[in-house]
């Protein structure tokens, strides 16, 4: 998919507007026109905060995040057409998309839903988030700003995918194709869940959380490897003569037929005609 990342002039303009402390009226109007264009691109999926690049890696377009922050700065607070709400960011129009969006979820403008995504209510998909084809966002899920959710991902009920608008240096969370994130999980601070990994219910991982891989005996940070099955766990530590337990998710195994059998998804929930 074509993105705007190669449009050097746009990037330059956003960086310049972002640096301006006191934007005059004319500059603010000009900036808003540009930023609205970028929001249109995010809405359509042609602009992406996180995009795939060579060798299965990800590129983070920090200028897009700056455009989003500018959008907050430049937009007026308005009464929302949906009723008794006031905000700066309108909701995305999902009515013409090939998705199922159950009332009452909030999907903000500047987020992208590929076709065949199901969003159960009440869920919140924030600006800059990208949810790829065939994914399920179950009830009470947060897909935080700028998070990237791959194809055919399952985000279990009550799961929180952290966003990156604050603090400004945070990296987006990425959940790659085919991953299964169980209920009541929390993924924060730029953690990358690689393809087909399984995060068992109740697992919380931040960028600084050690993940113990039982197969290798090593602790890893910042990513869950492809096909890994991670469950909540702990490690003991002595503090002032007392043994305490610090949370340490554990990779108990790689995905196998037993896990797959437990995670079979119901096709009839994924019919879009």
Ligand X SMILES: CC(C)(COP(=O)(O)OP(=O)(O)OC[C@H]1O[C@@H](n2cnc3c(N)ncnc32)[C@H](O)[C@@H]1OP(=O)(O)O)[C@@H](O)C(=O)NCCC(=O)NCCS
Footprint of ligand X on this chain (CB under 6 A)? 138, 156-157, 182-183, 198, 200-202, 229, 231-232, 252, 258-259, 262-263
- Smallest distance from ligand X to CB 152, Å: 15
**Residue (201 or 220) nearer to ligand X, CB:** 201
Instruction: Give the chain's radius of gyration (CA, Å).
Output: 20
Closest approach, Cβ 2 to ligand X, in A, equals 35
Separation of alpha carbons 77 and 75, rounded Å: 7
> For residues 76 and 257, which CB has a smaller minimum distance to ligand X in the complex?
257
Shortest CB 217 distance to ligand X, Å: 16
> Measured from the CB atom, is 186 or 232 closer to ligand X?
232
Phi (first) and psi of residue 130, to 5 degrees: -135, 120
User: Minimum distance from CB of 255 to ligand X (Å)?
Assistant: 9
C-beta of 96: minimal distance to ligand X in Å?
A: 28
By Cβ distance, which residue is nearest to ligand X?
A: 182
Q: Identify which of 208, 179, 171, 227 has the alpha carbon closest to the alpha carbon of residue 59.
A: 171
Nearer to ligand X, 165 or 252 (CB): 252
Question: Which residue's CB is nearer to ligand X, number 43 or number 138?
Answer: 138
Of 56 and 236, which has the nearer Cβ to ligand X?
236
Q: Give min distance, CB of 1 to ligand X, in A.
A: 30
């Amino acid at each position: 998919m074509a993105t705007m990342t190669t449009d050097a002039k746009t990037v330059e303009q956003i960086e310049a507007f972002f640096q301006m402390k006191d934007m005059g009226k004319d500059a603010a109007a000009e900036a808003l026109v540009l930023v609205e264009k970028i929001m249109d691109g995010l809405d359509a999926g042609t602009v992406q905060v996180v995009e795939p690049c060579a060798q299965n890696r990800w590129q983070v377009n920090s200028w897009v995040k700056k455009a989003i922050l500018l959008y907050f700065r430049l937009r007026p607070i308005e009464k929302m057409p949906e009723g008794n709400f006031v905000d700066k960011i309108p909701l995305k129009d999902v009515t013409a998309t090939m998705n199922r969006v159950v009332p009452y979820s909030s999907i903000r403008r500047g987020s992208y839903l590929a076709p065949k995504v199901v969003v159960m209510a009440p869920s919140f998909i924030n600006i800059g988030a990208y949810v790829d084809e065939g994914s399920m966002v179950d009830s009470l899920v947060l897909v935080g700003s700028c998070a990237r959710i791959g194809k055919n991902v399952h985000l279990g009920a009550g799961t929180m995918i952290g966003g990156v608008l604050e603090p400004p240096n945070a990296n987006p969370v990425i959940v790659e194709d085919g991953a299964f994130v169980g209920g009541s999980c929390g993924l924060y601070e730029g953690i990358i869940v690689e393809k087909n990994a399984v995060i068992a219910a109740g697992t919380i991982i931040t960028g600084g959380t050690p993940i113990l891989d039982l197969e290798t005996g090593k602790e890893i940070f910042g990513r869950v490897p492809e096909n890994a099955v991670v469950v909540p766990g702990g490690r003991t530590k002595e503090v002032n003569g007392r043994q305490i337990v610090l949370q340490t998710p554990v990779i108990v195994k790689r995905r196998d037929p037993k896990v797959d059998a437990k995670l079979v998804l119901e096709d009839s929930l994924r019919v879009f005609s």
